[in-house]
Amino acid sequence: MLCVRHCHTNVHVRPFVIIAAAEKPVLPNAEAPPCRTHRSVTSASGHKQKRATDRPTPTIRRIRSSGRADGHCNELACRLAPAPRDNETSSSAQPQKPPRRRQQRWRKRGGGAAIVRGMSYGGSSSLAPGAKRPFEYGRTHVVRPKGTHKATIVWLHGLGDNGTSWSQLLETLPLPNIKWICPTAPSRPVSLFGGFPCTAWFDVADLSEDAPDDTEGMDASAAHVANLLSTEPADIKLGVGGFSMGAATALYSATCFAHGKYGNGNPYPVNLSLAVGLSGWLPCARTLKNRIEASPEAAQRASTIPLLLCHGKADDVVLYKHGQRSTDALKANGFSNVLFKSYNSLGHYTVPEEMDEVCKWLTANLGLGTSSS
């Protein structure tokens, strides 16, 4: 769930809260699966609108009060129900026959349709090298550069969210030379919620660097990121970033790049230029030392890749201490080009000050300058 109050746009999204559901207990201090009602879309003029579907799934959601977890509203009458994937329609709605003059891709699962149109395209299956099972990823949203294309960054959303909300924010940033790719994670059972399914880049039992590692799930998501970047032109700089669980996946991808291998030992194929993590943590921190010390080449890559970590001291979902510990673990294991930025009153969401810092850092480390040509 994206929670942002940004100066570059008139869209305002307030912090999120956990719902109380009749069938499920309240989940304190955790990112939670998406709520199916009481959502709304805020237009550019600031007016709240209902989406024209039977069960709306907005791209950016207004939440009524501050809260603790991704994707929920503070409505006691709201019941917890599995949400269709971002690229699926409700089972009660019959898919329409695609117009002959438009290219469309239909998915059989759930009767939903993923439309290939403009800046988004349909879901796909990704299988990390050596993995036992494929993961079905949702719709991917692409923000094209407004100026000369110089860099491509895959940006990963948080637990229970989708790629749409972040793509709308990233489009407003003053970074005309960057192409943004915002995929949607597969829906899978999450141990943190007792096996309840929601969009997640990997399974997680605790939102910290001390959590048990779902190496197979992280390898699959890191491979999905690498696949999205692998088709970019050779002269384009490549990066990965994310928020919350997306930040954890981005940092894991950076460690795979440094090591030269995925967690399962298969080669990592992409040359990353940098990575960004907002309100996240570092997975597999306990094994990082052995991975980086495996070869001189790994130590060299670790020492040169720029990393930006940002965290709010008021974050009560992924605690501030986890951001600090992740930074310390990276620096202690050879990642010398790490910048950690903290924000005193920032909770588990983003603010203009943080996004301005991201823009300045990306501009400097990608050599973009100030020109949009």
pLDDT digits (tens, 9 = 90+) for 37-78: 334 434 344 444 443 333 333 333 332 333 333 433 322 222
pTM over 0.95: no
- Kindly compute the dihedral angle of the four CA atoms of residues 89, 169, 180, 161, in this order, to the nearest 10 degrees: -40
* Pairing verdict, β 237-243 and 274-278: parallel
pLDDT tens digits, one per residue of 220-235: 999 999 999 999 999 9
Q: Spell out where 202-247 has E strands.
A: 237-243
Active-site positions read 244, 315, 348
Give the model's pLDDT for residue 112. Answer: 27
Amino acid identity of residue 16, one-letter, is F
Give the model's pLDDT for residue 132. Answer: 57
For residue 112, give the DSSP letter: -
Amino acid identity of residue 242, one-letter, is G
Contact 199, 186 (CB under 8 A): yes
pLDDT tens digits, one per residue of 158-180: 999 999 999 999 999 999 999 99
What is the rounded average pLDDT of the residues 188-217? Answer: 90
C-alpha torsion sign, points 225, 226, 230, 232: positive
How much of the chain exceeds pLDDT 70, in percent? 63
- Domain span at residue 282 reads 109-366
The mean of the pLDDT values for the chain is 74
- The CATH number covering residue 295 comes to 3.40.50.1820
Does any domain span residue 21? no
Does any domain span residue 358? yes
Cα distance from N-terminal residue to C-terminal residue, the chain: 33
Does any domain span residue 191? yes
Does any domain span residue 16? no
Residue 218 confidence class, pLDDT cut points 50, 70, 90: very high
Q: How far apart are CA 88 and CA 86, in angstroms?
A: 6
pLDDT tens digits, one per residue of 270-314: 999 999 999 999 999 999 999 999 899 999 999 999 999 999 999
- Picking from 90, 87, 85, 118, the residue whose alpha carbon sits closest to that of residue 102 is 118
Helix (H) or strand (E) holding 308, with range, is strand 307-312
In the numeric block, the tokens 């590692």 are attached to 213
Q: Which residues contact 148 (CB under 8 A, 6 or more apart)?
A: 177, 372, 373
3-state class of 8 per DSSP? coil
Give the model's pLDDT for residue 246. Answer: 98
Does any domain span residue 99? no
Q: Which one has a higher pLDDT value, 104 or 71?
A: 71
Does any domain span residue 78? no
Query: For the chain, how many structural domains are there in total?
Result: 1
Give the model's pLDDT for residue 133. Answer: 61
Is the pLDDT at 249 greater than 50, yes or no?
yes
Does any domain span residue 227? yes
Does any domain span residue 319? yes
* Pairing verdict, β 140-143 and 120-121: antiparallel
For residue 4, give the DSSP letter: B
